[in-house]
Structure 1
Amino acid sequence: MIELVRPTVDLADSWWEMVDDFAGGTIHGSSYRSGDREVLRDPAVFEEWVDWLGRMERTDEALPEGRVPSSNRWIVRDGRVVGTIAVRHALTPSLLVEGGHIGYAVAPGARRQGVARAALGLALRLAAARGIDPVLVTCDVANTASARTIISCGGILEDERDGVLRHWVRTGAPARAIDSGPIEARDARLVPITAEEASAMRAGERLTWWADGYPRQDDLDAIGMLPSGPDPWSPRHIVRRSDGLAVGSIGCFGPPADGIVEIGYGLVPQARGGGLMTDVLSAMVRSLEAAGLRVVAHTEPDNVASQRVLARLGFRRVEEPDRAADAEWLWAGRAGAGEVGDA
């Protein structure tokens, strides 16, 4: 039986047996480096290190530069440590390229026995409980076994960067069915735009909590569809948690029709490129799917960034043979109450 166990001194002997099995090799997802061995052999230091691994899960813990809050676990089979895995709660620019949300390693003596797949599946549940959806899982391009494991757990390959394969996996994080209230994403709040705020936007007024460049023209176009008062389908400010600024908008092109709803979204330039839109769009889509709806979106043929975000969430492009070559592309999400047929 495979379990993910919080690091504990009770498993110290088994931990060191696993470390010896790696014979000095890198142990991904462990926060351990071979140079740490001598100092960590002191039981008191090892206990302090194990305690620190646990504290990394807390949002109020001061972490070294470049570190993010993480849920660190040891992969245990029949009471023995056979690997390590870490679920990182956020992505830095570096982790977005290499490292991802989940890093893991299985000891050489326990490989090719289904341990990695079982552990990754459990880590995805842990990520879902943290509200992380989708997660980025990476591996070296030469590590075909790891790539197969990630794909078997639902990984969708986005690209290869400098010899690293980058896969996105939806975790099925729970969400509340959409209503007229805010939607809580991990890194932002999606707050319905009020009639008063829409009037200020049209008049060119600047509110103190709006980022430079907001609203964009697309945001102004969106509020043109605003009803007399906010409803579930109204446009919403994307309010970044880190600074409380509105940096874009997201909303629906009207109420659902036959169980299908179309969304539109966008960010000011300075808020792009850090994974914020993936987090925001995931929260919006999960909330719509929780209401039993199927979500669709259109992108310009040359808007690669938007296409990548949709693909990360499992959207697929729907071929429309009757549309002009330079027309917007249609993307469809997972089936809910409605269906979008293939051409």
Structure 2
Amino acid sequence: MIELVRPTVDLAGSWWEMVDDFGDETIHGSGYRPGDRDALRDPEVFEEWADWLGRMERPDEALPEGRVPSSNRWVVRDGRVVGTIAVRHALTPSLVAEGGHIGYAVSQGARRQGVAREALRLALELAAARGIDPVLVTCDVDNIGSARTIASAGGVLEDERDGVLRHWVSTGAPARPIGPGPIETREARLVPITPGDAAAMRAGERRADWAEGYPREDDLDAVGMMTSGPDAWSPRHVVRRSDGLAVGSIGCFGPPEDGVVEVGYGLVPDARGGGLMTDVLSAMVRSLEAAGLRVVAHTEAGNRASQRVLARLGFRRVTDPGEGAGEDAGAETEWSWARPAGAGRVARVGGVGEP
């Protein structure tokens, strides 16, 4: 029987047997570095280290720079540690490129026996319980066994980057209702704009983590409606995971009225055309609908790209564009869009040509 067990000093003996079985190999998803070996041989130090691994999944735990909250587990078969696995709750640019949401390793003596497949399945359940969907899982391009394991879990290969294969796996996790905190998407983080951010944007300041062209005029209009600190309905920076830059904004036109909320969004020109807006708007809509709200939007009649995004996410046009508004409709003419109740699961992957 395969289990994922929280790190515990009770399993220290078989943990060290597993470490010895790995030899010089990197033990992915373990939090262990060979240089720590001598210190961890002290039982008290080992106990504190195992306890710290467990605390890493607590949102209030202070973590070293570059670390993200993680659910660390040991892969246990018949009472003995045979591997390690970690479910990371968020992605940094380096994790997007290489590490992914889940890192795992199985000792040599337990390979090709279905252990990795079952451990990954259980880790995906952990990710789903955390509301993470989809999950990024990576492996080296020459690790054929791991690539097969990821594929068997439903992994879809996105690309190869510097010898690393990057797969996305859907967990089917329900979205979390929108709140004042960031919203995590496959391609970005939607980070609420603070009063300090808003003041800097209005003053025309440039920040190192703002992309060229940000904020746009529409972004400034959005922050102009802020009256207090960030809440669920405040505008959010769209922070692209690939480089950590704010490349646009998304938010609501105030709190909901009668269970309906309107969203507005946009990206700088260089961030358009790769499906980012579809990914971002999908996550925003899912969070709003998880809060029991109906979502509406408006587009200019000539903004075909934005209309394609809304259509792909199940929105329907609910008003005519107005007399004389056809293919050459003026930019001031607006179309209204709504996502019908029960429209089903929101798509997560955009197509070529989308903003």
TM-score range, shorter chain: 0.5 to 0.7
SS in 1 for 2:137: strand
Corresponding position: 1:74 with 2:74: yes
Counterpart code for 1:50: A
- Which residue of 2 is the match for residue 3 of structure 1? 3
Question: Counterparts of 1:1-343 in structure 2 under 5 Å?
Answer: 1-175=1-175, 185-186=183-184, 187-188=189-190, 208=199, 216=216, 237-239=235-237, 247-249=248-250, 265-268=265-268, 280-284=280-284, 286-287=286-287, 337=343
SS in 2 for 1:283: helix
C-alpha contact 1:141 1:160 (8 A) present in aligned 2: yes
- Structure 2: where are the runs of 5+ without partners? 206-212, 223-232, 240-245, 253-262, 295-302, 314-341, 346-355
TM superposition shift of 1:88: 1.4
Query: Compared with structure 1, are the counterparts of its residues 217 and 105 closer, same or farther at alpha carbon in structure 2 (3 Å cutoff)?
Result: same
C-alpha contact 1:184 1:283 (8 A) present in aligned 2: no
Counterpart code for 1:48: E
Counterpart code for 1:107: S
Query: Compared with structure 1, are the counterparts of its residues 282 and 117 closer, same or farther at alpha carbon in structure 2 (3 Å cutoff)?
Result: farther
TM superposition shift of 1:278: 8.6
TM superposition shift of 1:94: 1.5
TM superposition shift of 1:11: 0.7
Q: Which moved more, 1:127-136 or 1:10-19?
A: 127-136
Counterpart code for 2:175: A
- Which residue of 1 is the match for residue 328 of structure 2? none
TM-score (norm 2): 0.61
**RMSD of aligned C-alpha atoms?**
4.9
Query: Compared with structure 1, are the counterparts of its residues 153 and 57 closer, same or farther at alpha carbon in structure 2 (3 Å cutoff)?
Result: same
Query: Compared with structure 1, are the counterparts of its residues 47 and 190 closer, same or farther at alpha carbon in structure 2 (3 Å cutoff)?
Result: closer
Query: Compared with structure 1, are the counterparts of its residues 10 and 142 closer, same or farther at alpha carbon in structure 2 (3 Å cutoff)?
Result: same
Query: Compared with structure 1, are the counterparts of its residues 23 and 10 closer, same or farther at alpha carbon in structure 2 (3 Å cutoff)?
Result: same
TM superposition shift of 1:36: 2.1
SS in 2 for 1:98: helix
Q: What do residues 5-55 of structure 1 show as CA deviations (whole Å, max 9, x unaligned)?
A: 110001111111111221231110001122322221111111111112112
Query: Compared with structure 1, are the counterparts of its residues 184 and 95 closer, same or farther at alpha carbon in structure 2 (3 Å cutoff)?
Result: closer
TM superposition shift of 1:59: 2.7
* CA distance in structure 1 between the aligned counterparts of 2:87 and 2:277, rounded to whole angstroms: 20
Counterpart code for 1:208: A
* CA distance in structure 1 between the aligned counterparts of 2:55 and 2:344, rounded to whole angstroms: 44
* CA distance in structure 2 between the aligned counterparts of 1:280 and 1:267, rounded to whole angstroms: 10
TM superposition shift of 1:98: 0.9
C-alpha contact 2:139 2:147 (8 A) present in aligned 1: yes
TM superposition shift of 1:136: 1.4
C-alpha contact 2:87 2:127 (8 A) present in aligned 1: yes
* CA distance in structure 2 between the aligned counterparts of 1:90 and 1:338, rounded to whole angstroms: 26
Q: What do residues 63-101 of structure 1 show as CA deviations (whole Å, max 9, x unaligned)?
A: 223222211110112211111001112222211111111
- Which residue of 2 is the match for residue 324 of structure 1? none
C-alpha contact 2:247 2:268 (8 A) present in aligned 1: no
* CA distance in structure 1 between the aligned counterparts of 2:170 and 2:251, rounded to whole angstroms: 20
Q: What do residues 251-276 of structure 1 show as CA deviations (whole Å, max 9, x unaligned)?
A: 8xxxxxxxxxxx9953358999xxx9
Q: What do residues 186-245 of structure 1 show as CA deviations (whole Å, max 9, x unaligned)?
A: 443689xxxxxxxxxxxxxx95385875663677999xxxxxxxxxxxx9833579xxx9
Q: What do residues 139-167 of structure 1 show as CA deviations (whole Å, max 9, x unaligned)?
A: 00001111111122121211111111011
* CA distance in structure 2 between the aligned counterparts of 1:277 and 1:74, rounded to whole angstroms: 37
SS in 1 for 2:235: strand
- Structure 1: where are the runs of 5+ without partners? 192-205, 223-234, 252-262, 301-306, 308-313, 316-335
* CA distance in structure 1 between the aligned counterparts of 2:278 and 2:52, rounded to whole angstroms: 30
C-alpha contact 2:137 2:167 (8 A) present in aligned 1: yes
Q: Percent same amino acid at aligned positions? A: 73
Counterpart code for 1:56: M
